[in-house]
Amino acid sequence: MMICVLLLAVSPALAQRSFELNLWPQGAPVMSGDAADTAKVYVFLPRKSTGRAVLICPGGGYASLALAKEGTDWAGFLNNMGIAAVVLKYRMPHGVKEVAIGDAEEAMKLIRRNATRWNINRDDVGIMGFSAGSHLASTLATHSRGDAKPNFQILFYPVITMDPAFTHKGSHDNLLGKSATKKDERLYSNDLQVTRVTPRAWIALSDDDHVVMPANGVNYYTELYRHDVPASLHVYPSGGHGWGILPGFRYHNLLMLELESWLRAF
């Protein structure tokens, strides 16, 4: 019931073109530690489509999801630009990394499988993430192949590295487990996985973020630049962590203008 209210609250005009789908109707191939946790997508289709779509991965330290301010509340902004918004409710990994990553990859494939029906260009599907959701988004951008790989990435105050010296400890422990191997920590430090075929990126964070060190996003940008991947880095003077689309964020209007400008540039 709460989900229905959430979807309808975005905009009465959008409600007719909004629906939810169970991501694994036949059952997920990899189970999490919580059998009751179900992966879903909430789909918002624009009335006039440009063919572009964005898969949105809310944050929450791989322990919970900020489903509104980092998910469904973005549908209106994207739909008004003619962009389909698909919000992913991914399962919490509980130390089994394949759970959340598998959900995100399946959601990307789902969008492309339904490209004709949803009036989407299969070659113009991006991914947007927030905090730990940005780690998930950048994992697909740097690890995934074929239909699971996004064409562009949008990252807000991202967790990028799994290096214990710089990572967000909760995200690290919840994704890889408290006894993660050095091999996995390096493999899922996504700044170390950037190549020349990593998709273009837009990155935003606050200089005074004391939850996720700004070095995460800055180092990722540096590696994108070093590998000739088009990228745009926006560091706002204040705001801390977790502002999402909240208008109370001091630089909210500037943020929205800069993101819209970037999305219209390619």
**In sequence order, what are the residues at sequence separation of 6 or more whose Cβ sits closer than 8 angstroms to the Cβ of residue 198?**
141, 142, 224, 227, 229
Closest CA to 2 of 40, 49, 51: 40
- The domain in which residue 200 lies consists of 2-26+50-120+133-263
User: Count of CB atoms within 10 A of residue 258's CB?
Assistant: 16
- In this prediction, residue 32 carries a pLDDT of 79
Quick check: is 40 in a domain?
no
**In sequence order, what are the residues at sequence separation of 6 or more whose Cβ sits closer than 8 angstroms to the Cβ of residue 258?**
204, 232, 234
pLDDT tens-digit profile of 146-195? 999 999 999 999 999 999 999 999 999 999 999 999 999 999 999 999 99
| C-alpha–C-alpha distance, residues 212 and 157, integer Å | 7
Quick check: is 151 in a domain?
yes
Enter the tokens of residue 189.
């430090």
Quick check: is 210 in a domain?
yes
Structural Rg of the chain based on CA atoms: 17
CATH of the domain at 183: 3.40.50.1820
Q: Taking 80 as the threshold, does the pLDDT of residue 214 lie above it?
A: yes
| C-alpha–C-alpha distance, residues 70 and 245, integer Å | 7
pLDDT tens-digit profile of 97-155? 999 999 999 999 999 999 999 999 999 999 999 999 999 999 999 999 999 999 999 99
In the chain, how many H helices and how many E strands? 9, 8
Quick check: is 38 in a domain?
no
3-state secondary structure 81-103: CCCEEEEEECCCCCCCHHHHHHH
C-alpha to C-alpha distances, 13 to 9, 17, 27, nearest whole angstrom: 10, 8, 33
C-alpha to C-alpha distances, 136 to 80, 96, 132, nearest whole angstrom: 26, 13, 6
Q: Taking 50 as the threshold, does the pLDDT of residue 204 lie above it?
A: yes
Quick check: is 201 in a domain?
yes
Enter the tokens of residue 80.
């008004």
Quick check: is 125 in a domain?
no
C-alpha to C-alpha distances, 130 to 62, 83, 252, nearest whole angstrom: 11, 19, 15
Quick check: is 44 in a domain?
no
pLDDT tens-digit profile of 219-236? 999 999 999 999 999 999
Lowest mean pLDDT among 1-15, 142-156, 178-192, 251-265: 1-15
SS3 200: strand
Give mean pLDDT, residues 36-61.
97
Q: How would residue 33 be classed by pLDDT, with cut points 50, 70 and 90? A: confident
Per-chain mean pLDDT for the chain: 94
CB-CB contact of 126 with 95 (8 Å): no
| C-alpha–C-alpha distance, residues 263 and 260, integer Å | 5
Quick check: is 43 in a domain?
no
Domain count, the chain: 1
